Amino acid sequence: MRTRYRRKWTAPLAMLACGALMLSGCADFDNTAAGQKFTPVNPPSPEVPPQVGPGGDAGDSGPGQGRGNGPNQSPTPVPPPQGCKDFDKAVIATCLDTVAAVAAIPGDGSSPSALAGERKSGRIMLAAAGKDPADWATIPVDGSRDGGLTSLALSPGFAEDQLVFAYVTTPTDNRVVRLAKGQAPKPVLTGIPKGATGNRGALGTDAKGALLVATGDAGNPGLAADPASLAGKVLRIDTSGKPAPGNPTAGSAVFSTGVHSPGGMCRDQSGSRLWLTDRMGDKDVLYRLRAGQPLSTPAWSWTDKPGVAGCADFVDATGYLSLTTSTAGNLQNLPVTPDGAVTGKPNVVMDGKVGKPPKTFGRLSAMSMINPQMAVTGTLNKDGGSPVSSDDRVVIITPSAGGGVGGKD
């Protein structure tokens, strides 16, 4: 087992979601899987946050520098990994390969779990605290360059239909597929342009059950503004793959334009705040998504290009939007008001600097929220990083326990 602590199994909840896309190609297939039913559970209240949090320094060859136990407290040492065994309780899966995509299974946080996708192999694993990773599915992908399996999302009705959506690169295009455990992936949207770069995509949902799909520009920035191209867009569709009701232009799936190399999308529980991270030639950016408005003015930008990846909206509980980075390998907490206004610079944690929580997990990828107080992310250390014996891993991030959301600088 990767971690050893007491766990209470709880059933998945239908929250984070997905839909399907159909602009260039679509297929008919079963809408449900095995008729399985699950009972929703309630997330913890902000007053009693979960206490799972980041731990010891993954890059330390000696004893880990440890996880903070609370404000102004000394960190508790965490031993370095031994093979695939990781002693950090924030780690719920180990010894995977380039975990570029995660889809959290909603719950109360007592037994955190998620689907984790390997970018280069297309393999999807079920990661659950206290258990070894279990094979869930494999999607054929072209994992060369920056393509492969780059995003996962649960369907809006996951508790009933057990369907999952994935953004993948094939030998001919980028596309969205949907699948269930034990079933072959089915194409939903095909023909998204493929290039030498700009093949990453990001999946998310809104509060109305529509799937949001951010597509890369295939290495051609001009495609992001081309209304005839599926590249460089945020698309909003219903679960049958058609343009969702209420889109800016009736009959069109285009929600926004101007995307280049998306890292991730996230939202608050009500759907009033929608966010997208993107990587441009000269900077990384965070956008506030608004229907029909091109992505022109970032909510925040990084000229040092840390490789912004996933995000988690903890704003209602903490006042911070958390973002992972795949190049700098840190967690950045951006102060945001409930109406979505950024009020200061990011507070960078897990960066190894003196007086801050230590760098713990290396290169981080997408994020997906288990509940309003807990998210999951993956690591990319086998793809240009400095892997330790337990990499790559699936890691829980919370606002508590020192390594999560912190105060402003």
- For the cut 70, the answer to whether the pLDDT of residue 293 exceeds it is yes
What are the pLDDT digits (tens) for 236-245?
A: 988 777 889 9
Average pLDDT of the chain, as a whole number: 82
What are the pLDDT digits (tens) for 187-234?
A: 999 999 999 999 999 999 999 999 999 999 999 999 999 999 999 999
Summarize the confidence of residues 40-49 as an average pLDDT.
34
Q: How confident is the model at residue 352 (pLDDT cuts 50, 70, 90)?
A: low
- For the cut 50, the answer to whether the pLDDT of residue 266 exceeds it is yes
Token pair for 42: 């309630």
- For the cut 70, the answer to whether the pLDDT of residue 382 exceeds it is yes
Summarize the confidence of residues 27-37 as an average pLDDT.
39
Q: What is the pLDDT of residue 353?
A: 63
Q: Which residues pair with 333 in a beta bridge?
A: 322, 347
Cβ atoms within 10 A of the Cβ of 5, count? Answer: 9
Residue 44 buriedness (CB in 10 A; 0-12 / 13-18 / 19+): middle
- For the cut 80, the answer to whether the pLDDT of residue 71 exceeds it is no
Separation of alpha carbons 250 and 170, rounded Å: 30
Domains in the chain and their CATH numbers? 91-397 (2.120.10.30)
Q: In whole angstroms, what separates CA 178 from the centre of its chain? A: 17
Instruction: Check: CB of residue 268 under 8 Å from CB of residue 313.
Output: yes
The DSSP string of 130-167 is TS--EEEEE-----STT-SEEEEEE-TTHHHH--EEEE
Q: What is the pLDDT of residue 321?
A: 97
Summarize the confidence of residues 28-55 as an average pLDDT.
36
Summarize the confidence of residues 242-263 as an average pLDDT.
94
Summarize the confidence of residues 106-132 as an average pLDDT.
96
In eight-state DSSP terms, residue 58 is T
